[in-house]
Chain A
């Protein structure tokens, strides 16, 4: 593990729930580490495997895919689709040799700002233990 390693996280957050939760965490002045970059998507169900793979290709250390709870979806069954995508991706990433904890799937409702901050805290902690992603070196060499 690198000394002073700060993991980079990309979080795909659904417009209706998790993005609002992140907003709530911010407006309520909750503290969570600044290692996360949020990408707002309309629904967690629209997160395609390629978004995650491309992000890993780009050298991020961890990815969070978060959206509404199962019955809260604005588009009826987005979280079900999201679960399917993430489960498939987990298998693919496992074969590739990436640790399971680098991809996290959460359901965070708009009112759960506390949970959002907690998830990010946990992720940063986990990723610090894991160290940089094996795909990191490539990006740093490019920069």
Chain B
């Protein structure tokens, strides 16, 4: 595939060069070297190398802020994704955050012979059932646990909270002992081969398990299963985010939530919000907890600003600035806690709040918590 094929496939030639994408892009705001309009223009003028070999290609957050604004409906994130595939073929892969460990782990997980020890965190207090047709997707959490300990983030804590909440709703989910990374990051960094292998492994296991519904605590896995897997693998089951799973049970099965006095604000993860349009479910869940006061940030819902890095690639000073500004916006609401529904938002925000660099002292030290953590705390007897 060359850039011309990608242009034919994703149709950026409808671009009017109005520049709305660049003016609304959260990356362009802090990184003047990054311009979606310029990238499209270079592609259309035939300057293929300017697009494909440009390191900034990997700076796009694929957060879908630009696409709804585009009068010609150019799907810039998908154009970027395809162009990244071409870049990978040319030996470009962006600058991987955390030295590329997470990308490497995804590639290692494509191996069919591995027998992972991914469920050792399960303890007596968790109720799971191997006969259940509801699956809880654990995803990368067991790997994130050691890797992100230094930013004081517990990914397994989010999974445990999700499980605890499901249990108190009377659901005993099934967990797969050898599931792989969903492939989200591989897909969005243009490593399509790894993505395809991971998707096949996962689909085979899920089909074998006879699962009817999958619940995700991570919006990236949710998006990948809902929007990207159907094009590659055959899967016949319903997928749902944790917030939707809880929201549809509020007031029905008698989920008793105890009073939690807290003023919170909510960060819409890009995958859950703009990619999948889930804005109301998490808010409904938050409002159902007595004592929770939800205040919205200046940019909320579809206008929400991204946490600053996606697919663990090209995390730089601009990303950090973006993150810091978003945290300032959250602090300006007067909320004491920032609630997110995505483990990756949390790693990135926590990274900014635990950063002890002199120049970043101005980043507000907000408490950051996953929606699942908050709900699980409120279900406690």
The interface of chain A, by Cβ under 8 A from chain B, is 48-50, 53-54, 56-57, 88, 91-92, 94-97, 134-135, 137-138
Per the bound structure, the CA–CA distance linking A137 and B114 in Å amounts to 11
The A interface is mostly helix, strand or loop, or mixed, namely helix
Q: Could you list 18 further interchain pairs (A-B, Cβ under 8 angstroms) beyond the known A53-B101, A92-B146?
A: A50-B100, A50-B104, A88-B146, A92-B105, A92-B143, A95-B118, A95-B120, A95-B142, A95-B143, A96-B105, A96-B143, A97-B115, A97-B116, A134-B111, A134-B113, A134-B114, A135-B114, A137-B113
Provide the bound-state CA to CA distance between A96 and B180, in Å.
10
Task: Point out the residue from B99, B117, B149 that lies within 8 Å of A49, measured CB to CB.
Answer: B99
- Please give, as numbers and ranges, the residues of chain A lying within 8 Å of B104 by CB-CB distance: 50, 53-54, 57
Looking at B114, B117, B146, the one whose CB has the most chain A CB atoms below 10 A away is B146
- In the assembled complex, the Cα of A34 lies from the Cα of B145 at a distance in Å of 37
When the two chains form the complex, which single residue of A53, A94, A134 contacts B105, counting CB atoms closer than 8 Å?
A: A53
Contact of B116 among A53, A96, A137, A138 (CB under 8 A): A96
Q: Which residue of B lies closest to A88 (CB)?
A: B146
**Interface presence of B212 (CB below 8 A):** no
Contact B99 A50 (CB under 8 A): yes
Q: Is the CB of A92 within 8 A of B147?
A: yes
User: CA separation between A50 and B109, bound complex, in Å?
Assistant: 15
Total A-B contacts with CB atoms under 8 angstroms apart: 53
How distant is the Cα of A91 from the Cα of B115 in the complex, in angstroms? 15
CA A22 to CA B111, docked complex, whole Å: 34
- Residue of B101, B116, B147 with most chain A CB atoms under a 10 A cut-off: B101
* Bound Cα distance from A91 to B111, whole angstroms: 19
Q: Which residue of B lies closest to A95 (CB)?
A: B142
Q: Is B328 an interface residue (CB 8 A)?
A: no
Cα distance A126–B101 in the bound complex, in angstroms? 26
Known: A50-B99, A88-B149. A94 touches B117 (CB 8 A): yes
Contacting pair B108 A56 (CB below 8 A) = yes
One of B99, B109, B145 near A96 (C-beta < 8 A): B109
Which are the 5 A-B pairs with shortest beta-carbon distances? A91-B146, A53-B104, A50-B99, A134-B113, A97-B115
Assembled-state Cα–Cα distance A94/B113 (Å): 15
Q: What residues of chain B have their CB less than 8 Å away from a CB belonging to chain A?
A: 99-101, 104-105, 107-109, 111, 113-118, 120, 142-143, 145-147, 149
Hey, which chain A residues are within 8 Å of B107, CB to CB?
57
Closest to A138 in B: B111
| Nearest chain A residue, comparing its CB with the CB of B121 | A95
Q: Nearest-CB distance from A72 to chain B (Å)?
A: 26
Task: Give the distance in Å from the alpha carbon of A91 to the alpha carbon of B117 in the complex.
Answer: 10
Cα A138 to Cα B107 in complex, Å, equals 11
Bound together, the chains give a CA A28 to CA B107 distance in angstroms of 42
Q: Which residues of B contact A94 (CB under 8 A)?
A: 117
* Beta-carbon nearest neighbor of A137 in chain B: B113
B31 to chain A, nearest CB (A): 25
* A residues near B111, Cβ cutoff 8 Å: 134-135, 137-138
CB distance from B315 to the nearest CB of A (A): 15
Chain B: minimal CB distance from A114 (Å): 34
Query: A91: which B residues are within 8 A, CB to CB?
Result: 145-146
A137 vs B109: C-alpha distance in the bound complex, in angstroms?
13
Chain A residues lying within 8 Å of B114, measured Cβ to Cβ, are 96-97, 134-135
In the bound assembly, the distance between CA atoms of A56 and B101 in angstroms comes to 12
Residues in B whose Cβ lies below 8 Å from that of A97: 114-117
Give Cα A97 to B118, complex, Å. 8
CB distance from B118 to the nearest CB of A (A): 6
Distance between Cα atoms of A57 and B108 in the complex (Å): 6
CB distance from B203 to the nearest CB of A (A): 20
Interface centre among B100, B111, B114, B149 (most CB of A within 10 A): B111
Q: Across the interface, do B105 and A48 meet the contact criterion of CB distance under 8 Å?
A: no
Residue of A nearest to B119 (CB): A95
A selection of 15 A-B contacts at a CB cut-off of 8 Å is: A48-B99, A49-B101, A50-B99, A53-B105, A53-B108, A57-B107, A88-B146, A92-B143, A94-B117, A96-B116, A96-B143, A97-B114, A135-B108, A137-B111, A138-B111
Q: State the CA gap A56–B108 with chains docked (Å).
A: 8
Minimum CB distance partner of A89 in chain B: B146
Compute how far the CA of A97 lies from the CA of B108 in the bound complex, rounded to whole angstroms. 11
Q: Which residue of B lies closest to A90 (CB)?
A: B146
Complex: A94 Cα to B119 Cα, angstroms: 11
Residues of chain A contacted by B109 (CB below 8 angstroms): 96
Is A95's CB under 8 angstroms from B116's CB? yes
Closest to A134 in B: B113
Nearest opposing residue in chain A for B145, CB measure: A91
Q: How far is the CB of B107 from chain A (nearest CB, A)?
A: 6
Given contacts A50-B99, A53-B101, A88-B146, contact A95 B117 (CB under 8 A): yes
Cα of A57 to Cα of B110 in the assembled complex, Å: 11
